[in-house]
């Protein structure tokens, strides 16, 4: 006989937010500058994997999926991450080149949502980043045909050993199916937790003239 697990009182799980909020007077008119400031705050606060973000994609007929990926760079051209182009997310981004990113920094009671259009980064840019990775990470990109069904873990381990023998002591080239995507933002939302669930939500939306309009949303 096994013990009956104690029911989880999920509906009763609450956290009261007490940090200072987010006002229009405090934010930068440029959302990229605002993001950089919050990102630096998260680094200073030693947030675990500050660059971890949820990437939401959808098929051409609108079926969604999401997963955690790592941000590898950002500037006014957009937010860059790398993956296998033949993976599920890679295929969905080719079919439907729009996506959303979500950063959640619990220690600071902050989150940032970014929505936009997707483009591939150049093969040259992908190659530069690929060569900056560790040898095992580069071999891993060749080992895994991401999202494809495999018979067992042994398949991966055996293939990795074969690649280590093949490339031992030599340059490991960029796989033709691996590289970067850039999300070019259309909209940002900066969220800051406040007491009584009356959170601060400020959005930036790209205007037809290229400027950013700022609005406050009800929580």
Catalytic residue list: 197
Other beta carbons less than 10 A from residue 23's beta carbon? 11
Q: Which residue do the tokens 């990102």 mark?
A: 39
Half-sphere exposure of 128 (CA within 13 A, CB side): 6
Closest to 137 (Cα-Cα) out of 194, 176, 83, 191: 83
Structure-token match 């920094």, residue found: 105
Which DSSP category does 8 fall into?
P
* d(C-alpha 50, C-alpha 45), whole Å: 9
DSSP per-residue codes, 165-218: HHHTTS--PPPTTEEEEEEEEEEEEEEE--GGG--EEEEEEE-TTS-EEEEE--
Q: Are strands 178-192 and 200-206 parallel, antiparallel or unpaired?
A: antiparallel
């Amino acid at each position: 006989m096994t013990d009956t697990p104690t029911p989880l009182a999920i509906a009763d799980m609450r956290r009261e937010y007490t940090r200072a909020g987010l006002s229009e007077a405090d934010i930068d008119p440029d959302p990229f500058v605002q993001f950089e400031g919050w990102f630096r705050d998260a680094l200073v606060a030693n947030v675990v994997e500050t660059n971890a973000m949820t990437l939401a994609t959808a098929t051409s007929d609108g079926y969604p999926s999401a997963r955690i990926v790592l941000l590898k760079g950002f500037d006014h051209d957009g937010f860059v991450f790398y993956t296998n182009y033949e993976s599920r997310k890679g295929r969905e981004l080719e079919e439907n080149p729009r996506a959303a990113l979500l950063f959640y920094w619990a220690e600071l009671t902050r989150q940032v949502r970014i929505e936009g259009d997707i483009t591939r980064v150049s093969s040259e840019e992908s190659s530069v980043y690929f060569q900056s990775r560790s040898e095992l990470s580069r071999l891993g990109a060749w080992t895994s045909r991401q999202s494809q069904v495999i018979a067992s873990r042994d398949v991966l381990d055996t293939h990795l050993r074969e690649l280590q023998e093949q490339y031992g002591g030599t340059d490991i080239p960029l796989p033709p199916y691996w590289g970067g995507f850039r999300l070019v933002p259309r909209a940002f939302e900066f969220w800051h937790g406040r007491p009584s669930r009356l959170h601060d939500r400020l959005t930036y939306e790209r205007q037809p003239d290229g400027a950013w309009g700022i609005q406050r949303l009800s929580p």
